[in-house]
Amino acid sequence: MHPRAKSEPPQTWRERFRALKNIPPLLRMVWDTSPALSASIILLRLIASAIPVAQLWVGKLIIDQIVHPGPGRSVWTYLATEIALVVVGDLIGRGINLCDSLLGDRFTNHVSVRLMEHAGRLDLATFEDPVFYDKMERARRQTSSRLGMLAQLAGMAQQLITLISLSGAVIWFSPWFFLLLVAAIVPSFLGETRFAMLAYSILYRWTPERRELDYLRFLGASNQSAKEVKIFGLQGYLVDRARNLFERFYAENRALAIRRAVSGFALNLLPVGGYYVAYIVIIARTIAGQLTLGDLTFLAGAFARSRQLMESLFSNVNAIAEQALYIKDLFDFFEVKPQVLSQPGAIPAPRPVRSGYEFRNVSFAYAGTDRLVLQDVNLRLDAGEKIALIGENGAGKTTIVKLLARLYDPIAGSILLDGIDLREYDLDDLRKEIGVIFQDYMRFDMLAKENIGVGRIDRVGDQSLLDESARKSLADQVIRVLPKGFDQMLGRRFDGGVELSAGQWQKIALGRAYMRDAQLIILDEPTASLDARAEYEVFQRFAELTQGKMAVLISHRFSTVRMADRILVLDQGRIVEQGSHDELVRHGGQYAELFELQAAGYR
Q: Kindly report, residue by residue over 90-135, the tens digit of the pLDDT.
A: 999 899 889 888 888 888 888 878 888 888 778 877 777 777 767 6
As a whole number of angstroms, the distance between CA 284 and CA 299 comes to 13
User: Mean pLDDT across the stretch 367-379?
Assistant: 87
Judge whether 520 lies within some domain. no
Tens of pLDDT, residues 409-451: 999 999 999 999 999 999 989 988 888 877 777 888 888 998 8
Higher pLDDT, 464 or 541: 464
Q: How confident is the model at residue 355 (pLDDT cuts 50, 70, 90)?
A: very high
The boundaries of the domain holding residue 76 are 16-335
Same domain membership, residue 264 and residue 214: yes
Same domain membership, residue 164 and residue 222: yes
- Kindly report the CATH number assigned to the domain that includes residue 207: 1.20.1560.10
The total number of structural domains in the chain stands at 2
Nearest to 483 by CA among 496, 465, 464, 470: 496
The pLDDT mean for the chain works out to 79
Domain end among 281, 302, 335: 335
Same domain membership, residue 323 and residue 364: no
pLDDT of residue 8: 40
Nearest to 242 by CA among 223, 220, 222, 224: 220
CB 537 within 8 A of CB 563: no
Judge whether 571 lies within some domain. yes
Higher pLDDT, 599 or 74: 74
SS3 label, residue 9: coil
Question: Kindly report the CA angle at 265 between 259 and 268, in degrees rounded to 5?
Answer: 130
Picking from 316-330, 343-357, 570-584, which range would have the lowest pLDDT averaged per residue? Answer: 316-330
Domain end among 307, 335, 363: 335
pLDDT of residue 192: 64
Same domain membership, residue 243 and residue 131: yes
As a whole number of angstroms, the distance between CA 326 and CA 306 comes to 30
pLDDT of residue 529: 59
Tens of pLDDT, residues 148-161: 667 777 777 777 77
| Amino acid letter for position 187 | P
User: Mean pLDDT across the stretch 267-279?
Assistant: 68
CA distances from 555 to 215, 313, 562 (A): 31, 65, 10
SS3 label, residue 573: coil
Judge whether 525 lies within some domain. no
Picking from 239-253, 276-290, 362-376, which range would have the lowest pLDDT averaged per residue? Answer: 276-290
User: Mean pLDDT across the stretch 247-253?
Assistant: 78
Higher pLDDT, 174 or 574: 574
Same domain membership, residue 410 and residue 315: no
pLDDT of residue 361: 94
As a whole number of angstroms, the distance between CA 346 and CA 425 comes to 5
Domain end among 308, 335, 362: 335
pLDDT of residue 284: 80
Same domain membership, residue 146 and residue 67: yes
pLDDT of residue 467: 93
Judge whether 495 lies within some domain. no
Same domain membership, residue 399 and residue 289: no
pLDDT of 564 > 50? The answer is yes
Q: How confident is the model at residue 305 (pLDDT cuts 50, 70, 90)?
A: confident
pLDDT of residue 6: 37
571 has which bridge partners?
574
Question: Kindly report the CA angle at 489 between 487 and 490, in degrees rounded to 5?
Answer: 125
Tens of pLDDT, residues 501-536: 877 888 888 888 888 878 898 888 766 656 667 677
pLDDT of 226 > 70? The answer is no
Same domain membership, residue 89 and residue 51: yes
Per residue, what are the HEC states of 110-161? HHHHHHHHHHHHCCHHHHCCHHHHHHHHHHHHHHHHCHHHHHHHHHHHHHHH
pLDDT of residue 286: 76
Percentage of the chain exceeding pLDDT 70? 78
User: Mean pLDDT across the stretch 49-56?
Assistant: 83
Most confident of 190-204, 493-507, 588-602: 493-507
pLDDT of residue 601: 58
State yes or no: cis peptide before 352, omega within 30 of 0. yes
Q: How confident is the model at residue 140 (pLDDT cuts 50, 70, 90)?
A: low
Same domain membership, residue 361 and residue 330: no
Same domain membership, residue 252 and residue 371: no
387 has which bridge partners?
552, 566
Any residues with CB less than 8 A from the CB of 290 and at least 6 apart, and which?
Answer: none
As a whole number of angstroms, the distance between CA 477 and CA 482 comes to 9
- Kindly report the CATH number assigned to the domain that includes residue 427: 3.40.50.300
For the chain, count helices (H), then strands (E).
22, 10
Picking from 159-163, 203-207, 243-247, 339-343, which range would have the lowest pLDDT averaged per residue? Answer: 203-207
Cβ neighbours, 10 Å, residue 59? 18
Judge whether 489 lies within some domain. no
Judge whether 439 lies within some domain. no
Judge whether 467 lies within some domain. no
Same domain membership, residue 190 and residue 133: yes
Percentage of the chain exceeding pLDDT 90? 15
Judge whether 79 lies within some domain. yes
Same domain membership, residue 412 and residue 323: no
pLDDT of residue 7: 37
